[in-house]
Amino acid sequence: MKPLHFLIASISLLLASCSKGPVDNTLVVGMELSYPPFEMSDENNQPSGVSVDLALALGESLGRPVRIENIAFAGLISSLKTGKIDLIISSMTATEERAGSIDFSDPYLETGLCLLVSNNSDIQSIEDADKNGNSIAVKQGTTGHLYAIDNVRNAQVLALDKETAAVVEVTQGKADAFIYDQMSTYRNWKRHPETTRPILAPFKKESWAIGVRKGNADLKDQVNSFLSSFKSSGGFDRIAERYLAEEKKAFQEMGYPFFF
């Protein structure tokens, strides 16, 4: 006969294991929901946009429910590294610097840095913008910010925490230019055609990819397999038609390659 303390310990372990229930298989995806039409909230304050649709399609492919975590862009990498999230899908450019901290999937979108400038300015290029007496707005933590740190030598750099704040600086004539990606620059110009002008030819090309925690090779392989099949099955075309039909048509008319 087993001692009483052994039986009590065995029952306690059994109850503990039962209380845990099934293993949580949720795929937790981090993104900053302030970058329409890629990452945003709908009228019911629910996550919406290109990256949300992409995350949900990925979760369906993997057979895992998806939870979106709204995290400031500058905090996404640290959230991934500490295990708060499983993936970053937030219009993030795959750079060598970031690849020192996290892994990236294969690229899923090609874009580039360009300029939104004041209508009162005669700027035609990044070289024109980088002159004494000029000021260039950037969003903190973006590749536009990193570019300015490494390359802007003469103009004053205004590092702001929100895209909208950087746009306002240009519309009010407080900044001569804003360094950002092509799609957003186009959309910001369409919102403020009286005060701004886009220079959409990219002075630095970039690729967006999905961020994966280092050492998670299995998930990275699954993500890459999904991206390949999603593209070949027309998934990106369907997303573009839903969210980016106007931009796709405009960029084709201007002779710029579309992004996916």
Q: Write out pLDDT tens, residues 120-168.
A: 899 999 999 999 999 999 999 899 999 999 999 999 999 999 999 999 9
Beta strands per DSSP E along the chain: 27-31, 40-41, 47-48, 66-70, 87-88, 103-104, 109-118, 135-139, 156-160, 177-181, 196-208, 211-212
Enter the tokens of residue 131: 């002159």
Residue 206's DSSP bridge partners are 111
pLDDT bracket for residue 23 (50, 70, 90): low
Residue 9 has pLDDT above 50, yes or no: no
- Those residues with Cβ within 8 angstroms of residue 29's Cβ, 6 or more apart along the chain or in another chain: 55, 66, 67, 68, 69, 85, 86, 87, 88, 89
Looking at residue 252, what is its pLDDT?
Answer: 87
* CA 2 – CA 145 distance, rounded (Å): 68
Q: Is 60 exceeded by the pLDDT of residue 235?
A: yes
Using alpha carbons, list the distances in angstroms from residue 121 to 5, 71, 125, 138: 83, 35, 11, 17
Full-model pTM: 0.80
User: Residue 21: is its pLDDT beyond 60?
Assistant: no
